[in-house]
Amino acid sequence: MIYLVFLIIIIYTILIVSFIIGFDKVKLFKIGNSTPENTFTIIIPFRNEAKNLPSLLESLSILDYPKGLFEVIFINDDSNDTSVEKIRLFKTQDLKLNFYIFDNIRKSNSPKKDAIETAVQKSNFNWIVTTDADCIVPKKWLQLFDEFIKENDSKMICAPVTYQTSNSILEQFQLLDFTSLIGSTIGGFGIKKPFLCNGANLCYSKDSFYQVNGFEGNNNISSGDDIFMLEKMIEKFPNEVHFLKSYDALVITKPQPTLRSLVSQRIRWASKTSSYKNWFGKFVGISVLLINFLLVISLPITLFKFLSWEIFIMLFSIKFTVDFTLITKTLIFTKQSKNIVFYPIIAIFHPFFIIFTSFLTIFKNRYKWKGRLFNL
């Protein structure tokens, strides 16, 4: 038992330390003053997002990029609220914006992948940029992508996302948990083993999308439009997938409003992991699961004196320290460092949340998302 505990601790520590080192290896990209050249199609699938769309629309309207060089395609995924009306009304207020609305063409078990493929087929420009309807995009967003493309031989560019939060414990829990994923994402790119990205801030060429046959091969999985595309791009273009590390490229989204919706979201995220082809991504997932499982079972084992308190405290302290370092580094990058004060209390509950959602993923056969039931 003791040897297994130490083995898991060592593997996890080496993994997170490598992400910490890799994080710094991805250099900050600074915006220049070059003349915009590349053309972009921004794709936004939506379903009943009437409450969130005004903020997104406002951020799109003030993008600092020539309006003739980008278009926005909204794909309506069977909304029954006023989402479409809000987009149409906003469009009438600025006729120079190239906003289009199309209905989703469903042909698979994944509404979002269908929506993206529908939009790509209708796009008029060379580069595809994806985000979500509950996001706010930064003013220099497209300018950064344009300059990054001109300086790097890229087929796919992953970029950062963070949460806009209040001081509620639930929202702070999500922010710090999500921040650890962003830090691991950047760290993975830094050690030349990218395994994560976020569909709320992705850019890839239309040609490369078709060269990897879009989402063919994983349309049976309801989620994963970002990760599976990343895997395909890495396999086809191993040296042309990059991370755009810039605060000015940071897309802001919202955390889940309730614990129930948070659990559903994490089940949805976890449901695709068994289909990953990237061995490193699977290794990271198993390592994270094992260290958290070890922490959860170590507490009762220690209470019943089958494990010493010294070993339990050492286990918790090591995980606490390496996670704290990576999360702090990432929060400094996203300019949210003040939120680290919530970390000590959240670090106590986080392992239980990971094991609970993992348990549900294994034993539940479906989950609810956006008012629909999906099979696992």
Give the start-to-end residue ranges of the domains of the chain.
2-22+278-365, 39-256
Q: Indicate yes or no: pTM above 0.85.
A: yes
What are the two backbone dihedrals, phi and then psi, of residue 254, each rounded to the nearest 5 degrees?
Answer: -110, 145
User: Of 102, 150, 314, 128, whose CA–CA distance to 204 is shortest?
Assistant: 128
Divide the 376 residues of the chain into consecutive groups of 10 and give the mean pLDDT of each group.
Answer: 84 98 97 92 96 96 95 95 94 86 90 94 96 97 97 97 94 97 98 96 97 87 85 96 98 95 87 78 94 91 82 91 98 97 95 92 70 65
The whole-number pLDDT of residue 278 equals 85
221 Cβ contact list (under 8 Å, min separation 6): 109, 110, 228, 271, 272, 275
Q: In what order do the strands lie in the sheet with 202-205?
A: 99-103, 70-76, 40-46, 127-130, 202-205, 156-158, 241-243
Helix (H, G, I), strand (E, B) or coil at 373: strand
H/E element, 139: none
Question: Quick one: residue 160, left, alpha or beta (phi over 0 = left, psi -120 to 50 = alpha)?
Answer: beta
* Cβ proximity of 96 and 61 under 8 Å: no
Q: What is the pLDDT of residue 372?
A: 67
Provide the pairing of β-strand 366-369 with 251-253. Answer: unpaired
- Give Cα 153 to chain centroid, integer Å: 23
pLDDT of residue 309: 85
Spatial separation of the C-alpha atoms in residues 276 and 132, rounded to whole Å: 23
Q: Given this model, what pLDDT does residue 71 score? A: 97
Structure tokens at 316: 């918790």
Cα–Cα–Cα angle for 195, 44, 250, rounded to 5 degrees? 55
What is the CATH architecture of 39-256?
Alpha-Beta Complex (3.90)
- Name the strand (E) or helix (H) holding 369: strand 366-369
As a whole number of Å, the CA-based R_g of the chain is 21
Q: Which two tokens stand for residue 81?
A: 């609220």
> CB of 171 within 8 A of CB of 163?
yes
Nearest CA-CA partner of 46 in 118, 94, 138: 118
Contact in structure between 156 and 70 (CB atoms under 8 Å): no
Backbone angles phi, psi at 73, to 5 degrees: -110, 115
**Can you say how many angstroms the Cα of residue 186 is from the centroid of all Cα atoms in its chain?**
11
pLDDT recorded at residue 365: 62
Bridge partners of residue 136, in order along the sequence: 252
pLDDT at 14: 97
Contact in structure between 152 and 242 (CB atoms under 8 Å): yes
Beta bridge partners of 74: 44, 101
d(C-alpha 161, C-alpha 174), whole Å: 13
